[in-house]
Structure 1
Amino acid sequence: MSIESFEEFGLSPQINRALLSLGHQTPTPVQAAAIPAVLEGRDLLGCSQTGTGKTGAFALPILQTLSQSGGRPRRGSARCLVLTPTRELALQIADSFKGYGRNLRLSLAAVYGGVGQMPQVRACARGIDVLVATPGRLLDLIRQGHLSLGNLEILVLDEADRMLDMGFLPDIKRVLAMIPDRRQTLFFSATMPPAIAQLAGSILDRPVKVQITPSAVPVERIAQRVMFATQSEKRALLGQVLGGVDVDRVLVFTRTKHGADRVVRQLAQGGVSAEGIHGNKSQNARQRALANFRSGATRVLVATDIASRGIDVEGVTHVINYDLPNEPECYVHRIGRTARAGADGVAISFCSAEERSCLRAIERLIKRSVPVQGPNAPKDGGGSKKYGKSSRRRPRRTGSARAAA
């Protein structure tokens, strides 16, 4: 039976009022499948691509559970921990909890690096109902004696695949060793490679499995195409694409931090307003760039993959892969930043000869050829399998995922 309204979940009037004020009336598929299971206290394994409403799928039942239990957090402890890989995503999740829980008397805090820790220390001292955290700062506060996880009731691992890509598995294991065995655990990942499935199997107890949209299938409303060019030709090609009539709000992806900075400088030289967002930027700089992009003050945002988790901006008309990702799953995450909330979107990938093996891997993952556009397009318009001879050599990695961000 399909669920047409949030009221069918039996959520409290306070939460329903908040949803109404936010304009949320109909649950997304992942919310419809996950919320009843979480309300029952079940562990959950969720696999759903970006932009499908995952945060609401765990935030709403968690708020309901915590508010109805009548419990209160002890000083220096948290009742619910949401572990997430990046600062931007932590802030985004905290904002969602704040919006959904605006009529509830529950405490919320987000802890992450790149900013002073004293406000976070004070929040921990008071006790926190819902704590959203990145692994590094969380463990720092625990080592310093400001926070204990011994009374944790609910653990959420969000974007688990990205946390493993960033090298956070040892940190996750440290956190798991500090929390009670009797807890509810919610595990969300956009993809489910073997390492993620193994981690989920080790920490979940008879979980309900929710997989709405296969992670390898991009949003159908996104018009995808590839443009072949040498690496040196990409700069001019980007300028041409940005000169299009309907190219309004654009997210550009590069493989490295230095590449992102270089593209921003080149765009500025051409009179295009652009800012970069990556791991070397301070938290204030990253938040400022996101705010400018949301408001339209900045037309183009240039990002690396790791920094991009948490970029949830409506009205992105185009995603441009200036560099193709080494991992084909990242392509799905990238292009999912457009065509949100029922809108159409365009994803354009620049592909050099050295990147054609990456394109072939992407096409195998999404089970379709990406149409080719531009002066180098073959007459039949096919993707990599139809486009001439391609290099057998896979691009050499330039460092770990952490360094590339």
Structure 2
Amino acid sequence: MSFISLGLSGFFQRALDEQGYEAPTAIQAQAIPAVISGRDLLAAAETGSGKTAAYVLPLLEILQSQDAPASNCAAVLVLVPTRELALQVETSIKSYSRYMPRRVTSLAVYGGVSINTQMQALRGGCDLVIATPGRLLDLVEKNAVKLNQVRHLILDEADRMLDLGFAEELQKVLSLLPPQRQNLLFSATFPEEVDALIDKLLFNPVTIEIERKNKLPESLTQRAIEVDTEQRTSLLRYLLSQHSGDQFLVFVASKRAANNVAIKLNKAGFNADTLHGDMSQIDRNGALQSFKAGQTQVLIATDLAARGIDIPLLPFVVNYDLPRSPADYIHRIGRTARAGEAGTAFSFIDHSSDAHFELIVKRNQLTIDREQIPGFERNSTPPPEALQPTKGPQPIKGKRKSKKDKLREAAERSKAYEGRQGSSIWSTAKLKSED
């Protein structure tokens, strides 16, 4: 199967050949014809599945035969949860459209940088706007962009947008769009909030690889290493020494932890950098570019980067701190073993994270044997702080909330948005659950 056989023009194949694309992935083979035909789309987009090309390529094919949008207007709106993903999508658009006869314009808009530059870039209209919801609404309020001519809406990583608290902003954006448009929704997981969004947004969609379990490539090796809390940095240095020259993406729980670990690694002679929310956008871009170029051996990141880094040959990921969400574990380790390449994900398990790691394993239906590395064996006796009960109310066995209860609670939290009939994502879910 070739990309041309899916309905794409030959000049796209030339651009794809230059980037080393040999054949469409499974999601691309199914999504591209559906998008070109104008259908709404619902796709379970696994990490490394090629989802960006699955929607960018057919939309570029459609734009090829359409006129450029009017001033301050956009034809395609791609909503994403992070600045990093916005930049990644824009980079893909520029690469894929390199040989198009009709010049298409694209712009990534996000917070943390000057809004004036983005306002100026939108004056002449823009074929594809890739935006985080908050900055997009800022631009709308300043009349820098109009959404009433959007013909194609893409929600990339819908679950992440809702998880990061973009529900209100997302509802506002949807209320500004024309009712007649094509909608494409990509999500790695499908919590109740995403189900409600699907019901509101999509009309008779084509569904692709919809499964509620996250799949991991066979080329990915997962290792759970038991280690005392204070020995984690020493263990990390040992792993770096054992794989000298290989790159490591290390996930930590906080910005402070990222800075502390980076300082210790640099003092030990390793080339380490950080990526977290307190950094300026220029510094974040620089850290990513240096890591992608192989100039940095170790990038220490918070979950900000869990879905925003695309490095095909990244060999190692380390969970220095475990993620709070079991689903985020999959997104983190999915940064390695991409495109058929081998990769290894290490998880450090101290006494205080024993129960949480078991929850991660159970929720993701994984089997991971624990191990200890000689010289870094974990103390057999847990420290007193690891035995302290978790603060806050604990779940009661047999009293897990039903899906209907969760939807009703979500509806209560969103009463502030329910003034306009039919405008709320949550009210749609509430009505459905009570039918």
* Superposition TM-score, scaled by structure 2 size: 0.83
**Residue 295 (structure 1) aligned with residue 293 (structure 2):** yes
Aligned residues: 381
Q: Larger deviation: 91-100 or 189-198?
A: 189-198
- Listed as ranges, the matches of 1:269-308 within 5 Å are 269-308=267-306
Where does structure 1 lack aligned partners over 5 or more consecutive residues? 378-389, 398-405
- Listed as ranges, the matches of 1:22-171 within 5 Å are 22-68=19-65, 70-104=66-100, 105-171=103-169
Once the two structures are TM-superposed, the CA of residue 376 in structure 1 deviates from its matched residue by 8.5
Paired residue secondary structure (1:368): coil
The amino acid that maps onto 1:93 is V
Structure-2 separation of matches of 1:30 and 1:164: 23
Once the two structures are TM-superposed, the CA of residue 273 in structure 1 deviates from its matched residue by 0.9
- Listed as ranges, the matches of 1:207-246 within 5 Å are 207-211=205-209, 215-245=213-243
Structure-1 separation of matches of 2:330 and 2:15: 31
Structure-2 separation of matches of 1:259 and 1:294: 22
Structure-2 separation of matches of 1:30 and 1:167: 28
Aligned to 2:366: 368
Structure-1 separation of matches of 2:347 and 2:155: 31
- Listed as ranges, the matches of 1:261-272 within 5 Å are 261-272=259-270
Structure-2 separation of matches of 1:101 and 1:154: 17
Once the two structures are TM-superposed, the CA of residue 102 in structure 1 deviates from its matched residue by 1.4
Closer, same or farther: CA 207–148 of 1 in aligned 2, 3 Å = same
Instruction: Show CA shifts across 1:149-177 (max 9, x none).
Output: 01110000001111112111111111001
The amino acid that maps onto 2:208 is V
Matched-pair contact (CA < 8 Å) for 1:228–1:376? no
Once the two structures are TM-superposed, the CA of residue 357 in structure 1 deviates from its matched residue by 2.0
Structure-2 separation of matches of 1:39 and 1:391: 57
Closer, same or farther: CA 396–26 of 1 in aligned 2, 3 Å = farther
Paired residue secondary structure (1:357): helix
Structure-2 separation of matches of 1:286 and 1:46: 30
Closer, same or farther: CA 134–264 of 1 in aligned 2, 3 Å = same
Matched-pair contact (CA < 8 Å) for 1:358–1:394? no
Structure-2 separation of matches of 1:252 and 1:74: 45
Matched-pair contact (CA < 8 Å) for 2:307–2:332? no
Q: Larger deviation: 210-219 or 100-109?
A: 210-219
Aligned-residue Cα RMSD (Å) equals 2.1
Instruction: Show CA shifts across 1:145-204 (max 9, x none).
Output: 111101110000001111112111111111001001110010001111222122122111
Closer, same or farther: CA 394–96 of 1 in aligned 2, 3 Å = farther
Structure-2 separation of matches of 1:80 and 1:212: 24
Once the two structures are TM-superposed, the CA of residue 396 in structure 1 deviates from its matched residue by 7.9
Percent identity over the alignment is 41
Structure-2 separation of matches of 1:246 and 1:268: 14
Structure-2 separation of matches of 1:222 and 1:288: 28
Once the two structures are TM-superposed, the CA of residue 212 in structure 1 deviates from its matched residue by 6.5
* Superposition TM-score, scaled by structure 1 size: 0.89
Structure-1 separation of matches of 2:152 and 2:39: 11
Once the two structures are TM-superposed, the CA of residue 310 in structure 1 deviates from its matched residue by 1.6
Matched-pair contact (CA < 8 Å) for 1:357–1:392? no
Matched-pair contact (CA < 8 Å) for 2:7–2:36? no
Between structure 1 and structure 2, the one with the greater Rg is: 2
Paired residue secondary structure (1:243): helix
Where does structure 2 lack aligned partners over 5 or more consecutive residues? 376-385, 394-435
Closer, same or farther: CA 212–33 of 1 in aligned 2, 3 Å = farther
Structure-1 separation of matches of 2:352 and 2:246: 30
Once the two structures are TM-superposed, the CA of residue 24 in structure 1 deviates from its matched residue by 1.7
